[in-house]
Copies of this chain bind each other. A is one copy, B any other.
């Protein structure tokens, strides 16, 4: 996957995130945004109801969870299943595409978690090298 793809100066790929006004960038930001990634990760374990999801994604407000879910549903990554019962019951689950995205995301999350000790060491080194002397 080391393909550089630079086949010319004007080889502008249609969905290249690196270019400013590309649609991919918006979707990528929904996925990797503050709550998007954690929401997708939580749903990977199975479908969840609104408040269960809210409890799982620790720290998210109602507003932001709602907003995040709408964006992900609109992008076709999450499916919303509402049952017209009383009291209402709504389940959220990943679509096929959402599942694939979540897999990559969880791989990234797992990598970061497993290497946090290295990160912490790097931070100490950096801070020591940059403290006012």
A residues in contact (CB < 8 Å) with B: 1-2, 4, 13-20, 23-24, 27-29, 31-34, 37-38, 41-42, 45, 56-59, 73-77, 97, 100-101, 103-116, 118-123, 125-127
* Contact across chains for A126 and B73 when beta carbons are under 8 A apart: yes
* Complex interface: chain B residues within 8 A of A38 (CB): 17-18
List chain B residues, Cβ under 8 A from A121.
76
Q: Is the CB of A32 within 8 A of B23?
A: no
State the copy count for this chain: 2
Best-surrounded residue of A38, A111, A114 (most CB of chain B within 10 A): A111
Provide a sorted-by-A list of 6 A–B residue pairs whose CB atoms are within 8 angstroms: A1-B107, A4-B45, A13-B113, A18-B42, A76-B123, A97-B119
Assembly CA distance A41 to B18 (angstroms): 9
Residue A104 contacts which of B23, B34, B57, B108 (CB distance < 8 angstroms)? B108
Nearest B residue (CB) for A14: B113
Establish whether residues B107 and A101, one from each chain, have CB atoms under 8 Å apart when the complex forms. Answer: no
In this complex, what residue of B is CB-closest to A73?
A: B126
Task: Report the separation of the CA atoms of residues A77 and B121 in the bound assembly, to the nearest whole angstrom.
Answer: 12
CB of A58 within 8 A of CB of B18, answer yes
